[in-house]
Chain A
């Protein structure tokens, strides 16, 4: 680790003109800058996806965890009585903030996508629903169920666990996939930069030969290439990140993030994550070029 810090230190300090010994042109220059820009651009979207997935997971978890539904199935004459009993039980249960019967009108609206707007819901043997809002401490579901079985036999408590779990799991997997994509992009960048560095060193064998002739040590020669490639990558990654950030900024979004598509973006301090992309790409380039240069120079001895 100390060796790594020393190398980074050498990159910043020392002979600041060291990389001038490497000719500034050549196809590897544009290749490195373009590749790092493209990878940084995609990395910004991967980060946005991960953050959106994480946010959505939290949103779903929180929203579903704070509410439950009580479904009451009973013959029409007993329905009103059972509803009142259930409301009384719910209102006396610790951890429940409020309990409200969903009106028939609201139930019609809920069913509208499936049955259309003119369904005669009053004539159907529809169960009635009670929406339960919990307070921060939550309620004891087991004891509530026991009380409901005793007094309201047709009541079924749904705390949304079976809905919540797969949604949260999916969102968490999406978050992991986003992170994996970022790692994959870093690895691809490293591979591309390694190839470009090797090509640059082969194309500049005369430079290496001259430097060796005048007494340059391997770390001087390697640093000349490493510095050049690190700064090219940093520049490319900065451009790519800027374009990525602009694209995400103008991506259509909603305030209420209902899906991954409408929630793709950054909020507040989340934008700061993008500042990490260019330096991290620079570090990837530094390590890739350092390893590549050392190998090439060993091979040339």
Chain B
């Protein structure tokens, strides 16, 4: 699905990630952990083609991202659901319109047969907030709306960048539960978080691989988190 081959990324301030080699397997659950500023967000952005490596390569669904046009990357993104810590919405549109926006963007006028909008809203706990505007939502509600938007196209991969950063522990558990459910449906999940207690909780529910970013490199973490 996503393959890193000695990929490095540097910015004007210096190198952020160095020599990353990794193959993201289908249906796996990955935790990416590391201290703030270690490069977790950079790694996830490279996973969906928002950042292109300066050296080495990344293959996204068997295509070399360096050879892909902006429109080809956009098409690939439709197979990847992304949730950010500061999840952004179109504030003038309702929660429902925001969640279904990926369908409009991809030219689909309705949900797939096995997906129902009411069920989706109910699944993420936003059934009563369908007509609310994003600024009216709480932090937890925003994260769940972002999750609903991320999965509405039934993507192969879910990327979550510190999704629990702005919400309380109870809501974090609920969000994690939803991600675990998605993984059990066969979706690949990459969750970046510095919250080790969340990772410990997840490991009790799902077989997750933990990747640790340190010194600009990614390594498989041991079991003693």
The yes or no answer to A17 lying at the interface (CB within 8 A) is: yes
With CB as the reference atom, state the residue of chain B lying closest to A23. Answer: B92
Number of interface residues of B (CB under 8 A): 25
- Given contacts A21-B90, A23-B92, A206-B88, whether A215 and B70 have CB atoms under 8 Å apart is no
**Residues of chain B within 8 A of A218, CB atoms compared:** 70-71, 74
B70 contacts A21, CB within 8 Å? no
Per-position 1/0 for A202-231, Cβ under 8 A of B: 000011011111111111100000000000
Asked if B216 is an interface residue, CB under 8 A from chain A, the answer is no
Instruction: Decide: B70 and A214 in contact? CB cutoff 8 A.
Output: no
Which residue among B104, B105, B107 has the maximum number of chain A CB atoms within 10 Å of its CB?
A: B105
Q: Please measure, in the bound complex, the distance between the C-alpha atom of A7 and the C-alpha atom of B18, giving whole angstroms.
A: 43
Q: Are B90 and A210 in contact (CB under 8 A)?
A: yes
Q: Specify the chain A residue showing the minimal Cβ separation from B98.
A: A210
A298 to chain B, nearest CB (A): 8
A-side contacts of B104, CB under 8 Å:
15, 17-18
**Closest residue of chain B to A204, judged by CB?**
B90
How many angstroms from the CA of A210 to the CA of B104 in the assembled complex?
A: 13
A301 sits at the interface (CB 8 A): yes
Q: In the complex the two chains form, is A21's CB within 8 Å of B93's CB?
A: yes
Task: Say yes or no for A145: interface residue by CB 8 A criterion.
Answer: no
Query: Which of these, B90, B91, B105, contacts A220 with CB under 8 Å?
Result: B105
Which of B85-110 touch A at CB < 8 Å? 88-93, 97, 101-102, 104-107
**Residues of A bordering B, CB below 8 Å:** 15, 17-18, 20-21, 23-24, 206-207, 209-220, 297, 301
CA distance A17 to B97 in the complex (A): 11
6 closest residue pairs by CB, A with B = A215-B78, A215-B77, A214-B102, A216-B105, A217-B71, A217-B74
Contact of A215 among B89, B97, B106 (CB under 8 A): B106
**Within the assembled complex, what's the spacing in Å between the Cα atoms of A46 and B91?**
43
Bound: A218/B106 CA distance, A: 12
Q: How far is the CA of A158 from the CA of B26 in the complex (A)?
A: 98
Q: Are A214 and B90 in contact (CB-based, < 8 A)? A: no
Residues of A within 8 A of B78 (CB): 214-215
Query: Within the assembled complex, what's the spacing in Å between the Cα atoms of A237 and B191?
Result: 52
* CB neighbours of B74 from chain A (8 A): 212, 215-218
Supply 18 further A-B pairs (C-beta < 8 A) apart from A21-B101, A206-B88, A212-B74: A15-B104, A15-B107, A18-B104, A20-B97, A23-B92, A24-B92, A207-B90, A210-B101, A211-B105, A212-B50, A212-B77, A213-B88, A214-B102, A214-B149, A217-B74, A217-B75, A218-B71, A218-B74
Task: Evaluate contact between A214 and B105: CB separation under 8 angstroms.
Answer: yes
Q: Which residues of B contact A17 (CB under 8 A)?
A: 104
Residue of A nearest to B48 (CB): A213
How far apart sit A207 and B92, CA to CA, in the bound complex (Å)? 10
Asked if B218 is an interface residue, CB under 8 A from chain A, the answer is no
Residues of A within 8 A of B149 (CB): 214
Chain B residues whose CB sits within 8 angstroms of the CB of A220 once the complex forms: 105
